[in-house]
């Protein structure tokens, strides 16, 4: 049926698959918090950051339904696919994770998943 080398290769593939699945489960349980730094004006593009605060302004863009939030004078870009049917109300306190990017010379935080922005009660 299978030779010795083929059996070893299959066992190695199974072991690697199990290790990847286990790592994925652990990382999902841990969340993004341990890997994110608090946003500052000096945060570099591509950095995973966190930001908490009250929504000062929420604007739905005409071209595509994307949402721009202003929190603590920081622009947060929420793509339409992430925003979905959610509405963002001025004065609501949120906690979010996103990636820093520069758009038209100004830093902003890009939200990558609906789970990355939560309302705080």
Q: What pLDDT does 44 receive?
A: 96
Q: What pLDDT does 34 receive?
A: 85
What is the per-residue burial (b if ≥16 Cβ within 10 Å, else e) of 2-38? eeeeeeeeeeeeeeeeeeeeeeeeeeeeeebeeebee
Please, what are the averages of pLDDT over each run of 10 residues along the chain (121 residues)? 92 97 92 90 95 96 91 96 91 96 95 92 80
**CATH homologous superfamily for 35-119?**
Nucleic acid-binding proteins (2.40.50.140)
Here the tokens at position 13 are 């593939």
Q: What pLDDT does 13 receive?
A: 98
Is this model's pTM higher than 0.85 or not? no
Q: What pLDDT does 47 receive?
A: 96
Torsion, Cα 54 57 63 66, to 10 degrees, reads 0
């Amino acid at each position: 049926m299978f030779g010795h080398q083929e059996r070893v290769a299959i066992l190695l593939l199974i072991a690697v698959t199990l290790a990847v699945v286990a790592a994925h489960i652990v990382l999902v349980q841990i969340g993004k918090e341990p890997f994110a730094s608090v946003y500052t004006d000096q945060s570099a593009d591509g950095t995973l950051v966190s930001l908490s605060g009250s929504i000062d302004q929420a604007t739905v863009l005409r071209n595509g339904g994307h949402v721009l939030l202003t929190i603590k004078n920081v622009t947060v870009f929420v793509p339409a696919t992430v925003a979905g049917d959610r509405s963002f109300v001025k004065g609501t306190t949120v906690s979010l994770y996103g990636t820093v990017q520069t758009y038209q010379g100004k830093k902003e935080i890009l939200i990558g998943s609906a789970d990355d922005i939560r309302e705080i009660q």
